[in-house]
């Protein structure tokens, strides 16, 4: 089946063996069976008139699913039928959610706001000083992505004759032209063409920007060597794509449902430490999200794939209960019972109940619970879960699995977010597995915290199911087939999109689900090139702040030389060269001077402190307290055990080093 937009609303069509589509919804002349569809993100219902079992579309290979065959798709179609039956039993309280495609220019305007660049247009336009530092850190492809959106917004606002100031894009961005040619690494500068997403020139070549009358050179990451199975996190993904476009060396690696055939991608060891989502302070994470959106857009631009953010029209949602409640509302009420919880309690309990039955159960996740029983359990859970009176013994393992999937489908907005659901689906259109993973990595970063944490818990659970595949007969592809409809099936509802064959869509989203499960450990990593861009922003902002402070002190008749001496001594803190002082305010040994060596790692520093603990504190282990890099060119960063301290010290010599636990 597929969902089409029409003047009457969303129309359901079913595929027949003849290959022709027959409309099941909307008004299509005499005798046309009318079916209305009311939906909420994550679920759909159909009038009882539609009783025919959905016909499966004829097999048709495409670039997104040439690794799959009809037999391997059986779980997908079965899951769709199970969802239909479940939805028919829960249609009474449905609400309509409309996904709105923004008007001309509105999409780009929203994009610039999301990227932290709203002061380049509208009422805040004028002096773009706030964005100067940010723009100076962009790579060539990132700058081109921003420039393209600024041009569109500027043209749109002029057409609408907005009263507030509309800056000319040439006043914000200007590629250097004329006889003054710049040389980079001995190679001639190549221009970046934003039209038709065509880029020429070398990966390490940047175009210049002019912001507020000043010329800025975008950050140009150095090329780092990478093997076939490495995910290079040191160079912008979009810049890598520019180089790969002309090369046929890296071919997309297809899967035939066998997990072993997917490449074993890995992250090369980084001596300054790998940064995971959750390791950075909120103010730096906000900068990471701005850069991730720009980088994702640049990557899609380079590869000629359309990236459209969508907006769900706000509707009144439930402010209490379990099913059909926004994740943020659920967490607010859950945190009153369990402070600091980041994953809805009902979600955790359903996973726990499934695992209590043993993950070796054959057909786990695939075999549904009885629809009527699931409906009754939902009602009982709504009334008794928070009272603590619900009888979990009455919930069979397959019931719990069905309730878990129902919870995901009934979220008012999808787990993968309304804004980025279509971008997740578009990942299947990227040409290589590596680029698909790079895009998924950026999309995971862009998810709201509640969505990202819940998705992580789900994927970790699904991996545990796959780990028992020898007994439960659920390979990673089987699990992907079953779960994909629950996360992706509604991706075209309410959208004005061209008709697409259900098989193509099914195979594509199943492959994305497969990648999310198999490579989940890679996807929660923040690319080093983005962390380095944040470091550069912080350095420039700190330099500006310091300059302003010195100017203020001078005006106040303070001795400038005295201030600089104090500032220097505060940073040095009487620590000899090659030695760092580590603070541990919550341990018995609150401070220790540690000599830097080539082999000293963060885990070694922690071990020295923990070895001197006694009493209750002696029970502390690595994993309960962490070494943090604080200040200098980063707000705050939790270090992984394999961080080489001397290398990191050279990258951020003004940082302080503190041992503490992670905030909940």
In this structure, the chain runs to a length of: 664
pLDDT tier at 237 (50, 70, 90 boundaries)?
very high
Gap between the Cα atoms of 431 and 241, Å rounded: 10
Q: Judge whether residue 652 has pLDDT over 60.
A: yes
pLDDT tier at 168 (50, 70, 90 boundaries)?
low
Chain segment 244-262, per-residue pLDDT in tens: 876 654 444 444 444 556 7
Gap between the Cα atoms of 6 and 417, Å rounded: 24
The model scores a pTM over 0.85? no
Strands (E), 148-294: 183-184, 187-188, 209-211, 214-216
Q: Judge whether residue 223 has pLDDT over 50.
A: no
Chain segment 608-628, per-residue pLDDT in tens: 988 886 654 445 555 688 999
Over range 186-195, report the average pLDDT. 34
Over range 49-61, report the average pLDDT. 39
pLDDT of res. 406: 95
Q: Judge whether residue 657 has pLDDT over 90.
A: yes
Q: Judge whether residue 661 has pLDDT over 70.
A: yes
Q: Are 132 and 183 in contact (CB under 8 A)?
A: no
Which stretch of 192-206, 236-250, 498-512 has the lowest confidence by average pLDDT?
192-206
The helix or strand, by DSSP H or E, that contains position 21, with its residue range, turns out to be: strand 21-23
Which stretch of 453-457, 504-508, 632-636 has the lowest confidence by average pLDDT?
504-508
Closest by CA to 259, choosing from 522, 523, 515, 521, is 515
Gap between the Cα atoms of 367 and 133, Å rounded: 55
pLDDT tier at 388 (50, 70, 90 boundaries)?
very high
Chain segment 536-560, per-residue pLDDT in tens: 999 988 787 665 555 665 555 555 5
Over range 361-365, report the average pLDDT. 95
pLDDT of res. 27: 39
**pLDDT > 90 in the chain, percent:** 46
Which stretch of 57-71, 337-351, 577-591 has the lowest confidence by average pLDDT?
57-71
For residue 610, the cross-strand partners are: none
Q: How far apart are the first and last CA of the chain?
A: 44
Q: Are 654 and 631 in contact (CB under 8 A)?
A: yes
pLDDT tier at 525 (50, 70, 90 boundaries)?
very high
* Mean pLDDT score across all residues of the chain: 75
Chain segment 105-154, per-residue pLDDT in tens: 788 888 888 898 877 765 555 555 667 778 888 999 999 999 998 888 88
- The region that residue 161 occupies, defined by phi over 0 for left and psi between -120 and 50 for alpha, beta otherwise, is left
**Structure token digits, residue 374:** 């699931």
Over range 63-74, report the average pLDDT. 51
Closest by CA to 413, choosing from 314, 341, 291, is 314
Residues 560, 566, 569, 573, Cα dihedral to 10° = -160
Residue carrying the six token digits 């470091």: 535
Tell me the longest C-alpha to C-alpha distance in the chain: 91
**Structure token digits, residue 346:** 């009902």
Over range 192-203, report the average pLDDT. 35
**pLDDT > 70 in the chain, percent:** 63
Gap between the Cα atoms of 351 and 332, Å rounded: 20
- Residue 199, Cβ neighbours under 10 Å: how many? 23
Closest by CA to 211, choosing from 156, 168, 261, is 168
């Amino acid at each position: 089946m597929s969902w089409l937009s029409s003047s009457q609303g969303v129309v359901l069509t079913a595929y027949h063996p003849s290959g022709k589509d027959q409309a099941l919804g909307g008004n299509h002349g005499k005798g046309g069976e009318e079916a209305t569809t009311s939906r909420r993100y994550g679920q759909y219902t159909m009038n009882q008139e539609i009783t025919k079992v959905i016909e499966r579309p004829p097999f048709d290979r495409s670039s997104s699913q040439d690794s799959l065959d009809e037999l391997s798709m059986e779980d997908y179609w079965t899951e769709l039928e199970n969802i239909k039956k479940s939805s028919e039993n829960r249609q009474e309280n449905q609400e309509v959610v409309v996904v709105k495609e923004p008007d001309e220019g509105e999409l780009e305007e929203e994009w610039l706001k999301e990227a932290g660049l709203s002061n380049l247009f509208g009422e805040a336009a004028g002096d773009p000083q706030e964005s100067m530092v940010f723009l100076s850190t962009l790579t060539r492809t990132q700058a081109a992505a921003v420039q393209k959106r600024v041009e569109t917004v500027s043209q749109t606002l002029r057409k609408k004759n907005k009263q507030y100031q509309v800056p000319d894009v040439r006043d914000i961005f200007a590629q250097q032209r004329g006889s003054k040619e710049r040389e980079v690494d001995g190679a001639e500068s190549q221009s970046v063409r934003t039209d038709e997403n065509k880029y020429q020139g070398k990966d390490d070549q940047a175009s210049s920007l002019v912001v507020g009358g000043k010329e800025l050179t975008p950050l140009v990451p150095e090329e780092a060597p990478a093997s076939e199975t490495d995910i290079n996190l040191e160079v912008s993904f979009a810049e890598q794509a520019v180089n790969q476009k002309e090369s046929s060396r890296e071919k997309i690696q297809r899967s035939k449902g066998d997990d072993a055939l997917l490449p074993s991608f890995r992250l090369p060891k980084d001596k300054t430490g790998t940064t995971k989502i959750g390791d950075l302070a909120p103010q730096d994470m906000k900068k990471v999200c701005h850069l991730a959106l720009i980088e994702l857009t640049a990557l899609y631009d380079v590869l000629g794939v359309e990236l459209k953010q969508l907006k769900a029209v706000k509707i009144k949602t439930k402010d209490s209960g379990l099913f059909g409640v926004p994740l943020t509302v659920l967490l607010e009420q859950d945190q009153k019972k369990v402070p600091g919880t980041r994953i809805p309690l009902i979600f955790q309990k359903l996973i726990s109940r499934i695992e209590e039955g043993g993950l070796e159960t054959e057909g786990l996740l695939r075999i549904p619970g009885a629809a009527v029983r699931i409906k009754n359990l939902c009602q009982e859970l709504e009334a008794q879960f928070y009272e603590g009176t619900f009888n979990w013994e009455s919930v069979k393992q397959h019931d719990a699995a069905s309730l878990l999937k129902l919870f995901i489908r009934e979220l008012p907005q999808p787990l993968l977010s309304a804004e980025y659901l279509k971008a997740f689906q578009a990942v299947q259109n990227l040409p290589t597995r590596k680029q698909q993973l790079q895009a998924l990595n950026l999309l995971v970063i862009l998810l709201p915290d509640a969505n990202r944490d819940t998705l992580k818990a789900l994927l970790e659970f699904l991996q545990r199911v796959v780990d028992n595949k020898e007994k439960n007969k659920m390979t990673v592809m089987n699990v992907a087939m079953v779960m994909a409809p629950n996360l992706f099936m509604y991706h075209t509802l309410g959208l004005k999109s061209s008709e697409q064959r259900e098989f193509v869509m099914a195979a594509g989203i199943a492959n994305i689900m497969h990648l999310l499960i198999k490579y989940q450990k890679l996807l929660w990593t923040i690319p080093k090139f983005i962390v380095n861009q944040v470091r550069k922003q912080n350095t420039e902002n700190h330099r500006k702040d310091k300059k302003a402070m010195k100017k203020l002190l001078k005006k106040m008749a303070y001795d400038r030389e005295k201030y600089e001496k104090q500032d220097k001594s505060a940073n040095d803190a009487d620590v000899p060269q090659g030695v760092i002082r580590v603070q541990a305010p919550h341990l018995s040994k609150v401070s220790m001077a540690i000599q830097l060596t080539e082999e000293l790692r963060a885990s070694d520093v922690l071990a020295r402190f923990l070895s001197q603990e006694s009493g209750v504190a002696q029970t502390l282990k690595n994993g309960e307290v962490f070494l943090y890099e604080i200040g200098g060119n980063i707000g705050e960063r939790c270090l992984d055990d394999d961080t080489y301290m001397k290398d990191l010290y050279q990258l951020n010599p003004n940082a302080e080093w503190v041992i503490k636990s992670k905030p909940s």
